[in-house]
Amino acid sequence: MGDIRQVIAQRASQEVCDGMIVNLGIGIPSLIPDYIDQSIRVLFQSENGLLGFGPTPLNNPDGALCNAAGYPVSIVKGGSYFDSATSFGMIRSGRIDLAILGALQVNMNGDLANWIVPGKRVPGVGGAMELAYGAKNLIALMQHCQKDGRPKIVKKCTLPITALSCVTKIITEMAVFEVVDSNLNLVELMPGYSLEDVKNNTEADFNISSQLYN
């Protein structure tokens, strides 16, 4: 289980490119920085008012220097602090190149559900709706199926959605999909999984990209 999360995070880290401003959600996305090549210049944005956070300090963590999950971080050269209105101003106005968020369900045309399971899990929406609205690209990370085996990539989201048509890519332990013009394209199989595995565990219809066989 822990392993699967690391596999997904490692694959997702390849989506972070030199020059990007990136926002990482809680859960699997928060594991990504460990896998990013040191030579890549990137600034991570955190909703609580920090652009340019770095790793957890080894000594003397500061209770007033935290990420959005409340854990201590550091600030990199060129980093800045600002209030929440400015923070979400960046997010809504399209200044974030890439948001990588955990997901509960994604459907065929890129609708995202990731904030509530009515009657069960009600953590609250946090900044997800605005990241989904404003980020130039949004990658959804999740395990391919629920614990009971039901698919999470569905024809239609049964959970309350976060935002419509916002996901541009889905990465699971089985496969990578791109959402193009409201269609799902399977672009990559993850190590150890076959096309049959993906077909058997995906409810949504999808096209198979020609690049899959390259």
Partner 1 sequence: MDKFNKVVDYEFVKSLFFDKMTLLFGGFGGVGTPPSLIDCLIDSGVKNVHLIGNDAGFPWIGMGKFIVLGRAKSLVTSHIGSNPVAGELMNKGALAVEFSPQGILTERIRSGGVGLNGFLTEVGMGTILAKNKPVVKIENKEYLYEAPITGDIAIVHAKKADKFGNLIFDKTARNNNPLVAKAGKITIAEVDEIVDMGALDPEEIIVPGIFVHYMVPSGGINWKWVWET
Binding site for partner 1 (CB under 8 A): 46-50, 61-66, 68-72, 75, 81-85, 87-89, 91-92, 116, 122-130, 133, 160-164
Exposure letters 33-51 (e unless 16+ CB within 10 A, then b)? beebeeeeebbbbbbbbbb
Our CB check for partner 1 shows the closer of 35 and 88 to be 88
What's the min distance (Å) between Cβ of 155 and partner 1? 17
Closer of 89 and 189 to partner 1 (Cβ): 89
What distance in Å separates the CA atoms of residue 102 and residue 113, rounded to the nearest whole number? 9
Decide if 173 is catalytic.
no
Distance CA 176, CA 169 (A): 7
Q: Minimum CB separation from partner 1 for residue 158, in Å?
A: 13
Under DSSP, the state recorded for 143 is: -
Cβ contacts of 181 within 8 Å, gap of 6 or more: none
Rounded (to 5) percent helix, strand, coil in the chain: 20, 30, 50
Torsion of CA 21, 26, 28, 30, to 10 degrees: 50
Catalytic residue from among 15, 47, 173, 178: 47
State in angstroms the smallest separation of the CB of 112 from partner 1: 10
Q: What is the nearest approach in angstroms of partner 1 to the Cβ of residue 81?
A: 5
Residue (19 or 119) nearer to partner 1, CB = 119
Nearer to partner 1, 95 or 193 (CB): 95
What residues act catalytically?
47
